[in-house]
Structure 1
Amino acid sequence: MRRRPLDAAGLRLLFASTAEFFREVPGGILALALRLTDDWMPHARFGAVEKGAQILYSAVDEFGLHQLRRGVQASHHAFFLETAAAFGVARPALEDPAAITQAAREMAALTALFYRRRPVGESLGFHLASELTSDVEFTLCLEGLQAHAAYYGLSGPDDPKLGFYLIHTQVEPRHGASSRTAVRDYLARRPDCTAEIAAGADAFMDGYGRFFTTLTELISAPTLRKVA
């Protein structure tokens, strides 16, 4: 993305596959926050909610609750839709199966599974890996788009079209920090869950690696005649 701008097919592939990848994230975080609260409740009657809040914090922005005085704002799903449209990728294109890689579908399925149904330790490891990689991912995507401002019709590095990526570069470090705290607290109570947390993180990284390897190979191809 930094070496050369993406053509229409490349942008469609990037945004549609990313939208599929992100599909289960907000609800998944919410589910894990509740599961973690329930897990802590027998051990910390008046502290369990705070433990769950360490995960829930990552969902505040996702659900558009980051400015409570202004009420519910646009969710990050809606914000992403707006950003994609600004780059010429409308909703029908985002939902076009031909523009969604199989690796993106697999990542969405993994996200639903690990946030909602795997053991809490694995879910925490999965979430931690998600938040730590997001900090890097959004920064690189933002830099890639900013590198070709004229081509994308950007007014500058803070063009509103980049809003979805700009906001994530600001909030992801805090989400990563709260996720680390959640894992550290859980391990202090359950040191036997170290392997579970590592397994969850590994599961995320395996799927994440396939997602971006596939995406990079397709976007780097001379032409994007067919999405694998």
Structure 2
Amino acid sequence: MIYRLGFWTGPVPADDESACADLHTRIYAAEHRRQATGCKPPPVPEVRRFVDAVLAELPESAEDPAGAGDLGSGESLASVRDPADLGKEAPAEEEACPWGSGDVAGTATAEVFLPRLRGPHRRAIALLTQIAHEHGLHGFDLAAHRMLSMADAYWVDEVPSTDAILGVDPSTVLADLSASRERICRGPELARRRLASAPAALEENIAGTVLDAAS
């Protein structure tokens, strides 16, 4: 199961739906620029610094490079066991690494970073939330449809985790879709409306700052 998260720069959203709309506004704007120019927009400095900090703690390989991923005990997060898993057989290397796809840095573009995890990896989610908070970025759990909050993160023996309600298998959501119409978020729709309402402003947006129109 691929677990998707989104991080972006901008004003603090009022609620989860506003956060979803803000994130998708930036995703769609970046894609619009890519189609218009034929080139993927590079991440803005704030996002680039955030991604660098994330990969310093969570390298793309489960093998921790020299100096990276120091949690105070000399272990990378990818190799630290979840407190709930203590006493169990150690996970295989490919399961220990939280990333669900290669080229993690390549998922950063313009004002957004859209990493994929190998399932709901609680340690990684908690650490990503902390680093985003330190860099002034907002985080959104696309599977659970909620903002990532530092209030949900905690540490046990310097190992981060989260007690937030995480998302479920997409197939479960689709099977129950007919009974959950009212829970469908309007975030993507609001994002499309924002961009369609001022295409000229979006076309002039070549410095990496996405249109922040009112919904």
Q: Which TM bucket (shorter chain)? A: under 0.3
What TM-score do you get using the length of structure 1 for normalisation?
A: 0.27
More helix per residue: 1
More strand per residue: 2
What TM-score do you get using the length of structure 2 for normalisation?
A: 0.28
